[in-house]
Amino acid sequence: MQTQPLAKHESLATVLELEAFLDAASPNMRAVEAVIRELSQSEVPVLLFGEEGTGKRTIARRIHEGSPHRGYEFSIVNCAKVGAERFDGQPGSPLLCKGTVLFDEVANLDFACQSGFLNSLIRLEQDGRRGLPGRLICGSARDLELEVRSGRFREDLYYRISGVCLRLPPLRQRKQDILSLTTFFLSKFAAEFGCPTPVLSEDTRQLFYDYAWPGNIRELRDAARAIVVLGDESVAMGGLRAVLMKSDRNRQGERVSLKEAGRAASRETEKELILEALAKTRWNRRRAAQELKISYKSLLYKLKQIGNSDFEAS
């Protein structure tokens, strides 16, 4: 089993990020925040529904930080990797922790684990402990009601873990929050990397606002990190624009890859340098190669890679 406890030194940073995540203008998130305040003070099991990247882990931490269990550990159980033996009631079982445990993507539990999970919950009630010693939260990107109807998830377990079901809106339904979240992440990563906070151009701000963000908050966070790491917005967006648009068309739900964005930005920068050298040498490719300090053969190869149509002399 893999758990991810919230370390003490992370607490302040986590709280600040949670505040930025929820301190938003959209009615959707104001409604979610109101529910979170109520849930923090109760012991009812919570089931969080939301697409990948909508912030299920962040919301679970917010509930934990506002609850009577905040002095204990916050742990995340990766349901794709947990085994049935972790529900045997022995010391170390996640259900015996006094803090908050999030069963991440609970729909990934196989039937043996689902049965073990259910039996553990029943056993804890029968032992006279008044249920779990800690707080139980489950998260799922898949609709568990559909999973139950299709026979892939136990109905009796579903009803035990879904005392309250909270659906998290995708970022495309939180348009008012995109720019404030972008500003937060730019400042966060600028502080981490020790560099100035980038100020985005109007074109980039409009692109961020118009983009569908299929990877939600996680994808926006990665895009902001790429801009900070690459330093120059024009260079960064040369790569990110292509990556974001490609993701929007072909890769619904996939994260923006920082490595891919970096490579795309490097290609754009290289293209600009080649164009500049060609213009300076009046499109004399041998002299341009000398200016660029590469071989003539390398320049021809790069021109072929980029496409001759981009380098037609006017």
Q: Given a cut of 90, is residue 144 above it in pLDDT?
A: yes
Strand (E) or helix (H) holding 104: strand 100-104
pLDDT at position 11, please?
42
Sole residue written with tokens 């995708």: 170
Q: Given a cut of 90, is residue 106 above it in pLDDT?
A: yes
Residue 47's pLDDT band (cuts 50, 70, 90): very high
Q: What is the mean pLDDT of residues 253-262?
A: 52
pLDDT at position 297, please?
85
Report which of residues 43 and 6 the model is more confident about. Answer: 43
Least confident of 64-78, 105-119, 121-135: 121-135
pLDDT at position 250, please?
46
pLDDT at position 72, please?
92
Q: What is the mean pLDDT of residues 12-30?
A: 53
Tell me the domains of the chain and their CATH numbers: 8-169 (3.40.50.300), 172-311 (no CATH)
pLDDT at position 246, please?
59
CA distance 207 to 201: 10
Q: Are 214 and 248 within 8 A, CB to CB?
A: yes
pLDDT at position 109, please?
93
Q: What is the pLDDT of residues 158-188, one digit of tens each?
A: 999 999 998 888 888 888 888 888 988 999 8
Share of the chain above pLDDT 70, in %: 71
Q: Are 79 and 108 within 8 A, CB to CB?
A: yes
Residue 23's pLDDT band (cuts 50, 70, 90): low
3-state secondary structure of 139: strand
Q: Given a cut of 50, is residue 10 above it in pLDDT?
A: no
pLDDT at position 207, please?
84
Q: Given a cut of 60, is residue 157 above it in pLDDT?
A: yes
pLDDT at position 193, please?
85
3-state secondary structure of 261: helix
Q: Are 41 and 67 within 8 A, CB to CB?
A: yes
CA distance 166 to 168: 6
Q: What is the mean pLDDT of residues 193-221?
A: 86
Q: Given a cut of 90, is residue 34 above it in pLDDT?
A: no
pLDDT at position 252, please?
45
Tell me 48's DSSP state.
E
Q: Given a cut of 50, is residue 51 above it in pLDDT?
A: yes
Residue 114's pLDDT band (cuts 50, 70, 90): very high
pLDDT at position 55, please?
87
The angle at the Cα of 93, spanning 66 to 168, to the nearest 5 degrees, equals: 40
Sole residue written with tokens 């320049």: 299
Q: Which strand ranges, in their side-by-side order, compose the sheet holding 135-140?
A: 74-78, 100-104, 135-140, 46-49, 164-167
Buried b (16+ CB within 10 A) or exposed e, 268-301: bbebeebeebbeebeeebeebbebbeeeeeebee
Q: What is the mean pLDDT of residues 290-306?
A: 81
